[in-house]
Amino acid sequence: MFRPVLRQATRSRSALRPAAVRTFASASGPTFNWQDPLASKNLLTEEEIAIAETAERYCQERMLPRVLQAYRDEHYDPKILEEMGELGLLGATIQGYGCAGVSSVASGLITRAVERVDSGYRSGMSVQSSLVMGGINEFGTAEQKERFLPEMAKGKLLGAFGLTEPNHGSDPGSMEAVARPHPTKKGVYLLSGAKTWITNSPIADVLMVWAKLEETGKIRGFLVERKDCPAGTLATPSIKDKNGLRASITGMIQLDDCPVPVENMFPDIEGLRGPFSCLNNARYGIAFGIMGALEDCIARARTYALERKQFKGNPLARYQLIQKKLADATTDAAYGTLAAIQVGRLKDEGKATPEMISMVKRTNCDAALRNARILQEIFGGNAVSDEYGIGRHVANLFVTQTYEGQSDIHSLILGRAITGIQAFV
C-alpha cells in the first residue's frame, strides 16, 4: 500500500524541510536543531522517515488549509478519511486486508503529523484505525475481518467505538447497556442502552458497541451495522457547541431493542479485556500524536516571539522569560517523542505493558497541555484570536488529557503496578 507513496516521499523529501534558521554551534561540531532537539530521527528506519514525510505533506497541504473554518463551523468532512485511505494511512499496522502493515512507530508518526494540524482530525482517524479496525483485527472472526476491514482501510466504511455511557465514564465496568436474546428469533440479540461522547457516531456505518449480556452479566462486543437497524432502534445524534475538538464530529449512540445477529458479536472475548485492549492501541497513538500538537504550539510561539516587537523595538524572543517558556516546551516535546518511539519498539516486540502505555499517555498529554497553556501567554491578548491557532490547540489538548483514560486514572493504573494495591475504590 505504501510502496508508490514511499518512492514519491523519498524523491520529495527536501520539500518538507523547514526554512533555514539561525543556529549556534562550534565551528566543526554538529548544530542544534530545535525541531528535533535529541535527534530522534536517527532512531527511525528509512521507511518510517518516508511514511512520516508522506503524512506530513498530506496534512500540511490538504488538511491545514481547511481546519480553521472547520473548527469555527464545528464541521467534519468524512472525505478526510477517504483521503487518508488513499494514502494507506488507516489501520496502518494491520497486516493484509488492504492495510499497510507498518511498524507501531510509523503509525505513531502518522498520528503526530495529523495532530500537528488538529487533535480533532487525529481523533477521527484514531477511532477508525485503532479502536474499530484494531478491535476487529484482534477479536473479529475471519468473516468479520473480510467483511469490514478492506472498506474501512479505504475510508469508505466509517466506524465508531461505543464504550462510555452518560453515567459511566472512568468506570466502564458499571455500564448499563444490555444485550438480551430476541424472544422469537434465534441467533439475534436486542441491544438497548446509551453511549455518549462517541467520536464519529453520527456518520458511522459500523458501531462497535460494548454491552452486558442479560443472561450472564458479561461484557461482550457487537458490531452494529446502521443499514440493518430497523427504524426507531438506533439513533446517533450529534453533540454540538463543544469547547474543544470542534473539527471532529461527536455524538451519542442510543439503542432501543436494536437487533444484532450473533454473527456480529465477537466470539471469544468477554469482560473489559476487549475494550481495554482497543483503548491501549489508541492511547499509544494519542501519546505520539499529542507531540505533534505541542510541536506546532512551539513553532507558532517561536515565530510570534521572533516577529513581535516590544520595548525599544526588541523582539519578544530576546527576553529571558520567553526563552525559558520555549526551552521548557521544546525539552518536554523531545523527551515525549523519545518515550513514544521506545514504547512503539517494545509494542512491536510484544514487550509493551499496559502500564507503559498509561505512563507515556499520561506524561505526554499532561506535558502538552501544560506547555501549550504557557506558550499561549507569549501571544498576550492576541491568543484570543483563533487566527493564531494556539487557543485551538489548548482547547483540544484539555480533551486529549481527559479521554481514553483521564490522567488521574492512569496515575492509579501506575500506582497499582508500583505498590500492588488496588486504589480504584
* Rounded average pLDDT over 266-277: 89
Q: What is the pLDDT of residue 9?
A: 43
In a domain, 107, yes or no: yes
Q: What is the pLDDT of residue 171?
A: 81
Catalytic annotation, pick one of 48, 165, 225, 404: 404
Q: Which residues contact 354 (CB under 8 A, 6 or more apart)?
A: 276, 280, 413
Q: How far apart are CA 212 and CA 175, in angstroms?
A: 8
Question: What is the DSSP secondary structure assignment for residue 264, as one 8-state letter?
Answer: G
Q: What is the pLDDT of residue 51?
A: 95
In a domain, 318, yes or no: yes
> 106 with 82, same domain?
yes
Which residue pairs, CB below 8 angstroms and at least 24 apart, start in 60-68?
A: 60/16, 60/116, 60/117, 63/114, 63/117, 63/118, 63/121, 64/117, 67/117, 67/118, 67/121, 67/247, 68/386, 68/387, 68/389, 68/392
385-424 tens-digit pLDDT: 999 999 999 999 999 988 877 889 999 999 999 999 988 8
In a domain, 382, yes or no: yes
> 93 with 170, same domain?
no
Strands (E), 157-187: 159-162, 178-181
Q: Give yes or no for residue 277 having a pLDDT over 90.
A: no
* Rounded average pLDDT over 291-295: 97
Q: What is the pLDDT of residue 424?
A: 80
Q: Give yes or no for residue 315 having a pLDDT over 80.
A: yes
143-164 tens-digit pLDDT: 999 999 999 999 999 999 999 9
* Final residue before a domain boundary, out of 153, 185, 206: 153
* Final residue before a domain boundary, out of 234, 264, 294: 264
In a domain, 247, yes or no: yes
> 407 with 286, same domain?
yes
In a domain, 425, yes or no: no
Q: What is the pLDDT of residue 26?
A: 54
> 126 with 242, same domain?
no
* Final residue before a domain boundary, out of 206, 239, 264: 264
Domain of 393? 273-419
H helix runs in 349-384, sequence order = 354-376
Question: Which helix (H) or strand (E) is 255 found in, with range?
Answer: strand 250-261
Query: Percentage of the chain surpassing pLDDT 90?
Result: 84
Domain harbouring 253, CATH code:
2.40.110.10
> 235 with 288, same domain?
no
Domain harbouring 405, CATH code:
1.20.140.10
Q: Give yes or no for residue 322 having a pLDDT over 70.
A: yes
Residue type, 311: F
> 282 with 399, same domain?
yes
In a domain, 424, yes or no: no
Question: What is the DSSP secondary structure assignment for residue 159, as one 8-state letter?
Answer: E
> 97 with 114, same domain?
yes
In a domain, 136, yes or no: yes
> 72 with 170, same domain?
no
> 324 with 351, same domain?
yes
Q: Annotated catalytic, 404? A: yes
Residue type, 193: G
Mean pLDDT over the full length of the chain: 91
Q: Give yes or no for residue 14 having a pLDDT over 90.
A: no
Q: What is the pTM of this model?
A: 0.90
Under the banding of pLDDT at 50, 70 and 90, the label for residue 98 is very high
> 213 with 289, same domain?
no
Q: What is the pLDDT of residue 353?
A: 94
* Rounded average pLDDT over 129-147: 95
Query: How many independent structural domains does the chain possess?
Result: 3
Domain harbouring 148, CATH code:
1.10.540.10
Q: How far apart are CA 128 and CA 92, in angstroms?
A: 11
> 149 with 163, same domain?
no
Query: Percentage of the chain surpassing pLDDT 70?
Result: 94
Under the banding of pLDDT at 50, 70 and 90, the label for residue 183 is very high
Q: Give yes or no for residue 21 having a pLDDT over 70.
A: no
Q: Give yes or no for residue 5 having a pLDDT over 60.
A: no
> 404 with 299, same domain?
yes
**Residues across the chain:** 425
In a domain, 313, yes or no: yes
